[in-house]
A and B are shown apart, each in its own frame.
Chain A
Amino acid sequence: MNLVYAFAIAAQMGCGVYLLLSRHGVRILLGIVLLSTATNLLIFVAGGLRFTAPPVIEQGMRMLGTETANALPQALILTAIVIGFALVAFAAALMLKTYRSVGSVLTSDHTDAEALGSPFDKEALRDA
């Protein structure tokens, strides 16, 4: 079972990294999404894979039974999902905004930051 999960995570990570290396902004974004879901799976596997009951306290009981799942990895994953959701949403909005103002999602066209005070700025060199 662990091995199946390991391969699934590896495949997902591989796809994520491949997309991350792309020049296309949206693909980079999708790569990040894939990587973060793969990481969530990794935490899930790290918590131990066993067939157990869900970690919910039964009616009338004060404690969890002995054969219940570990609730902590699930809590961690939930936190990571929520945070990842916010960040990816923000990044998507950022990419959209950039596309509107620069007119391209290709990172090779995103050169405005480096252009500030560039040592190769012809106009400024003439002034100096």
Chain B
Amino acid sequence: MPEFLAGTELFWPLAIPLATAAVCAAAWAYPRLQQAASLVGLVLTLVASLVLLQIVLSEDIVTKQFGGWAPPFGISFVADRFSAAMVVISSVLALAAGIFAIADLRRRQVKAGFYPLFQGLMVGVNGAFLTGDIFNLYVWFEVMLIATLGLITLDRTRAQLDGAIKYAVLNLFSTILFLMAIGLLYGVTGTLNMADLARVLPQTEGSVALTVSAMLFLLAFGIKAGFFPLFFWLPASYHTATIIVSAVFAGLLTKVGVYACFRVFTLLFEVNEGGIRPIVAFFAAGTMLFGVFGAAIQWDVRRILSFHIISQIGYIMLGLAIATPLAMAGAVFYIIHHIVVKANLFFVAGAIHRATGTYDLRKAGGLMKSSPLLAVLFLIPALSLAGIPPLSGFWAKFMVIDASFRGDMAWLGALALVVGLLTVFSMSKIWIEAFWKTSPRKVARVRAVPVAMLVPIAALGLITLAIGFNPEPLVAFANVAADTMTDPAQFIAAVFSEPRIAGVTP
């Protein structure tokens, strides 16, 4: 990075997608240019996020005040290990999706504005990961919501419109709850900067408003993340979108909700206080169980996978419910593993659709014979999702379940093991129906899967394998990340140490 750009690392993972979105929108009439700009932007974003991660690894927490206004008045942007890792993994996923899009996206879909919306989504996601201001987080959520609404209705089919309405209404409701929580919090504390809140809140007397605010945060992020009693919008809408969009949604969106939940309930509110912990534990248990039950009856690959997103979110929430540093580390590991694996499974679903012409497992079949490579590529994320050693999912599940037996929530760990077994059932269902079974159609119409589809699938599969066979570095990383995350003092110190004085001479 050039000398004069030193100190601006935090800015680029946000700025590059924003600039790319602007360029893609400005090049409205030139789909080819949009595609090229988008790919360049995605590569640059990945580079920028890797640079950020490298700096975070040496400096622990990087902060930045946009506009030069001192905290707590200006809007802080903060990257610690957790958020930097999230930005990197989401950039990897976005690049994979960008490559997949070359083969899968139709001209009509590009003309409907896929590229600007997709980049807009990345702006929102990266912004939500990097912001250090609670109201700013709300703004990023809305940016994401607008972009996702555009993406989900890309083809404007009846199913998509239907899914989009459910998605829009419930997510709008969730952001309203979020805003209410912010309003109450502001009323009590008079500040919105997360570091300042973390400093002020422990000295504030507990009040009804604060409790209500915490509950509203939990509900708002719960809807976003797809917790147990609030997840119904997710399997009703995710599967209607075109497959790249589904994959990106599945990988990133719910995780942004989970990320926000972790931030708020480590930094602002203590999970251990005010009876939040039993609620989170109950949510986690229900989320795991009902997600996996919901998947068992479905026949559409995308719907099976959508329900599995929910059950996996339960595992991540398990970490928050146990709330020991070990469990938090497990959750961080789990999120990273899950983003890669789940998006990859959706990409495989897209490849299955390309090969057999259907997402319905009853109509698919015979892929084992016709494209064995795809079969292997499916097997890696599928087994990893189910938690079969030595893949990444095994270590992720091991960490959270181990933490739950060491903590005081052994029943949650036991439940997690049962759910893991049921996950194997769903994955083997896809395997048997799509790959082993002979095709039910008389004329087996098997089309070749283009290379541009296989490359991202293989790349994400390789990441899964790499984590699986060499989990040590990531486990160590997750442990340090969890330590930083559960220690608000470091966060506060980092934000307020910024040696810049408020106000710029007009």
Chain A contact residues, CB within 8 Å of chain B: 20, 25, 28, 32, 35-36, 39, 42-43, 45-48, 72-73, 76, 79-80, 83, 86-87, 90-91, 94-95, 97-98, 101-102, 107, 110-119, 121, 124-125, 127-128
Contacts and interface: CB of A to CB of B under 8 A. Distances in A.
Given A76-B186, A86-B146, A116 B240 contact: yes
Nearest to A41: B183
B179 A90 contact: no
A39 B176 contact: yes
Nearest to B238: A113
Given A25-B165, A113-B240, A76 B176 contact: no
Contact of B237 (A36, A45, A113, A125): A113
Contact of A115 (B153, B159, B187, B359): B159
A122 B214 CA distance: 46
B362 A47 contact: no
Interface string B293-313: 000011111110000000000
A116 B184 contact: no
A116 B300 contact: yes
A20 B177 CA distance: 14
Contact of A43 (B158, B162, B179, B297): B179
A9 B138 CA distance: 21
Contacts of B138: 80
A94 B162 CA distance: 9
A52 B166 CA distance: 43
A110 B491 CA distance: 47
A127 B299 CA distance: 13
A39 B237 contact: no
B168 A94 contact: yes
Please report whether the interface of chain A is mostly helix, strand, loop or mixed according to DSSP.
Answer: helix
B440 A42 contact: no
Contacts of B162: 98, 102, 110-113
Interface in B166-196: 166, 168-169, 172-173, 176, 179-180, 182-184, 186-187, 192
A75 B122 CA distance: 25
B310 to A, nearest CB: 16
B146 A90 contact: yes
Interface in B127-176: 135, 138-139, 142, 145-146, 149-150, 153, 156-166, 168-169, 172-173, 176
Contacts of B363: 124, 127
B18 to A, nearest CB: 17
Contact of B362 (A32, A91, A124): A124
Contacts of B156: 97, 101
10 contacts: A42-B180, A43-B183, A76-B192, A80-B138, A86-B146, A91-B165, A91-B172, A114-B236, A116-B300, A116-B302
B49 to A, nearest CB: 26
Contacts of B81: none
B342 interface: no
Interface size class of B (residues with CB under 8 A): 35 or more
Contact of B239 (A25, A83, A116): A116
Contacts of B169: 20, 28, 32, 91
A97 B440 CA distance: 37
Given A20-B173, A90-B146, A91-B169, A113 B239 contact: yes
B80 interface: no
Contacts of B176: 32, 35-36, 39
Given A39-B180, A127-B440, A128-B362, A94 B164 contact: yes
A120 to B, nearest CB: 9
Contacts of B160: 113
B149 A117 contact: no
Interface of B: 135, 138-139, 142, 145-146, 149-150, 153, 156-166, 168-169, 172-173, 176, 179-180, 182-184, 186-187, 192, 236-237, 239-240, 297-303, 359-363, 440
B135 A117 contact: no
B299 A119 contact: yes
B186 A116 contact: no
B240 A43 contact: no
A87 B179 CA distance: 14
Contacts of B183: 39, 42-43, 46, 76
A47 B186 contact: yes
A32 B173 contact: yes
B139 A83 contact: yes
Contacts of B192: 72, 76
A32 B186 CA distance: 23
A20 B55 CA distance: 47
A42 B156 CA distance: 36
B172 A113 contact: no
B159 A112 contact: yes
A46 B161 contact: no
A39 B4 CA distance: 44
B159 A113 contact: yes
B158 A116 contact: no
Q: Looking at B161, B184, B298, B303, which has the most chain A CB atoms within 10 Å of its CB? A: B161
A118 B303 CA distance: 9
B158 A102 contact: yes
A42 B172 CA distance: 17
Contacts of B173: 20, 32, 35
